[in-house]
Amino acid sequence: MLNHIELMGRLTRDPELRRTGSGTPVTSFSLAVDRDFKSQDGEKETDFIDIVAWRATAEFVSKYFKKGRMAVVEGRLQLRDWTDRDGIKRRSAEVVADNVYFGDSKRGESADVAPDDSIPADNGQVSV
pLDDT tens per residue, range 42-95: 899 999 999 999 999 999 999 999 999 999 999 999 999 999 999 999 999 999
Percentage of residues of the chain with pLDDT beyond 70: 83
Closest by CA position to 17, among listed 50, 46, 70, 55 = 55
Domains of the chain, CATH where assigned: 5-102 (2.40.50.140)
On the question of pLDDT at 102 being above 50, the answer is yes
Q: Calculate the average pLDDT of the chain.
A: 87
> Model-level pTM greater than 0.95?
no
Question: What are the C-alpha distances in Å from 100 to residues 52, 65, 66, 105, 110?
Answer: 11, 10, 13, 14, 21
pLDDT of residue 100: 98
pLDDT of residue 107: 58
Give dist(CA 105, CA 21) in Å, integer: 35
Containing H/E element for 48?
Answer: strand 44-54
pLDDT of residue 37: 87
